[in-house]
Structure 1
Amino acid sequence: MAVILGIESSCDETSASVCINGKVINNEIASQAIHEQYGGVVPELASREHQRNIVPVVDHVLTHADINVKDLDGIAYTRGPGLLGALLIGSSFAKSMAASLNIPLIPVHHMKAHVLAHFIDDPKPSYPFICLTVSGGHTQILRVNSATDMIILGQTQDDAVGEAFDKAAKLLGLPYPGGPMIDKLSKEGDPHKFQFAQSEMPDLDYSFSGIKTSILYFLRKQVQRDENFIEQNLNDLAASIQHTLIKMLMDKLVKAAKQEDIKQIAIAGGVSANSGLRQALEQEAEINGWDIFIPDFQYCTDNAGMIAISGHLLHEHEAFGELTDSPLPRMPF
C-alpha cells in the first residue's frame, strides 16, 4: 500500500491531499481572495499567502486522513509550470519533508496532473484516450497513452482559452475571475445574437488572440453608438462569446478524435468546469458515439487531489525526482 501526500502551489491556490493506494482521501484548498481587488493574480502576494497557508493545510489533510508523517511513502509536488515564487514554496516544503523522512520525492507536471485527475473517481478512461486540457494558461489536445506517455496533438499558439474568457469578461466590466461570470450570464442569453471573428490555425492548433481583438473592437464600436450597449445586452454578449469560444474548442476536438480514431474523450483543467463546454461535449458524444469523461468540479481547478493521484501513478513507475530539481515556471511538456 502506497501513501502519497500531494502538494499544489503553482498559482494562487495552496492545496494538499492524501492518496492511499490510489484512492484520494481528501483535497484541501486554501483560496486567495486577496487578488480580486487587483483584477488578477499578483505573484508576490501569492507567494506570501502560500507561506502562510501551507503548514496548516498539510497538517489538516494528514490529520483528517489519520495519517502520521512516518506512514508516508512519497511526497508529490507541482514542479511546474506556474509562478516561480509560488512553485518555490511548495517545492521547498516538499523537499524538506521528504528529506527529513527519507522517502521519495515525486515532481509532477501541472498540466499532466489535470489529465490524470480522471483517475481519481469512477468511471475512469482506458488508454489511449483524447484529452482536451483547458485552463487559464494552457489549451492543448492530447493523446494519452499512459500516465507517463502523453502526446500533444495540438495547442494554442498564443493565448489560452481561459485568458480569452477572462479578457472578454473584463471588457464587459465583470469582476475577476471573469470566466465563471460569463458562464453564469450566458444561461440567460442568446448564443447566436452576436458574431465574432475567429483566427484560423492549421491542423489541431488554436489561436485565441484574434477573437479577443474582435470582441474589443466590436464593443468599442457599439459603445460609441450607445454608451449603455453592454449593460442592455450583457446576457446575450456573454452567451455569444461563450458559444464562439466553445465552438472553436469543439471543432478541433472532433477533428482530433477522428484523426486518432479514438472514442474515449476527456476534458480537464479549470475551463472544464464551464457548463457550456460540458453540454457541448455531451452533444458531440451522442453524435459521434464517444465515451466521455469529465472530472468532478473540485478537480477541475488547481487542486492537490490531481497531484496526489499523479504521485501515486508515478510512484508505481518509480518516476522519482531529486532534491536538486529546481522549480520550472515554463516546464516543458
Structure 2
Amino acid sequence: MPRNAQRSTPVIKDVAKLAGVSAPTVSRYLNGTAKVNEEKRERIAQAIKLLGYKPSVVARALANKEMDSVMVFATNSGTFSTNMTSIGVENGARERNYLFNVTTLSEDRMDEVRPTVQMALGANPAGVVVYEYDHAGAEALRYIPDDIPLVIVGGNAGEGRYQVINSEREGGHLMTRYLLGLGHRTVYHVGRPQGPSDNTRTNGWRDAMAEAGIAAPPVIEVSATDLSESVEAGRRIAGFDDATAVFAGNDETAIAVIKGLREAGKRVPEDVSVVGFDNRTFGPLWTPPLTSYSQNFVETGERAFSMLYEQIQARRGGQEPPKSRLETVRGEFVERGSALPFAG
C-alpha cells in the first residue's frame, strides 16, 4: 500500500464522521465558541478519545485569531517558588491542550521590560499570567492591554481583577509567633530585599513582633542567589547577646545561617533556634531537621491557569467575563527539630 494511501494522524473530519456530526460542530466544541448540546458533546468526546485526536494549535489559532497558548511573565525563573508555580500553570495548560511559554524579565534591566512584554505579546497568546513578586513583574502589568485575559500571581491582595496569592505574610507571622511562643524574647530575621507587595514574609515577621510588643531588630538583608551572604549573617548574629532565635526567609538561607552560627561556635538549636520557609525537600535531611512553612506553589499555578481559562472561554464565546475574584493558597506549618524553647 502506498505511504499516502492511509492517514496516520486523525484530523477533524475523522472525528466528525465517527461522531455523526459536522466538522464545524467539532470545531465549535473544541474552541468553545458556541454551545454544543450535551448529546453531541458526548459523541464528539468519545470519538476524540477513540481516535486519539489532538487538535492542531495552529489551525485553532487561525480560527480564533490567537494561539491556544498562555504566556507567563516571570523574574528569577530559576528560583524555587517561580519554578514550581510555572509547573502548576503548565499542568493546567497541558490538560487543556494549550502551549505554555515563559518570558523572563530582569530586575537589573528595567528599561527592557516594556519591549520584552511587547515582543512576547506579538505571539498572540490567548491569555497572560504575570508573577508580581518583584518590581519587574509590577512594571510588566503596565503594558498588558486591557482586552487580554490576565491573571496576577502575587502582588497586593485585590490589586487585579483576577488574582492568586500565597499566604506569604500569614506564614511569616506564624513562624515568628511560633518562636516567640517558645519563650524567645526576640526573633532576628534574615531575608532577601522585599518587592512591591506588602504580602511578604518579612511583613509577617514585623506583624508578629508588633503584636508581642517587641521592637523588631533591623532586617538582615541577603542576596537571593549568593548564599555566602547568609553564612556571614549567621556569623554576625552569633555575636549578638540577645540572639536566641532566627526566622530565615527561605530554607536555603536558614541552612546557610546555621552554617555561619556553627562556624562562630554556636549550637543549633541548643544556643540558637532557626526556622526556614518553603519546606524544601532537603529540610528533613538537614541536621537538625529544619522547621519550616510549606507552600503549595504548584496549586497556585494550577489555580492561575484555571482562572485564566475561564476568561478565555467567556471571551471566545461572546459571554460576559467571570466575576472578579481573589484566591489565596494557604500554607502549612511543619515542625521538626531546629527550634527549642528558650533556656533562659
Larger radius of gyration: 2
TM-score of Structure 1 vs Structure 2, range by shorter chain: 0.3 to 0.5
Q: Structure with the greater relative contact order (CA < 8 A, sep ≥ 6): 1 or 2?
A: 1
Q: Taking structure 1 as the reference length, what is the TM-score of the superposition?
A: 0.34
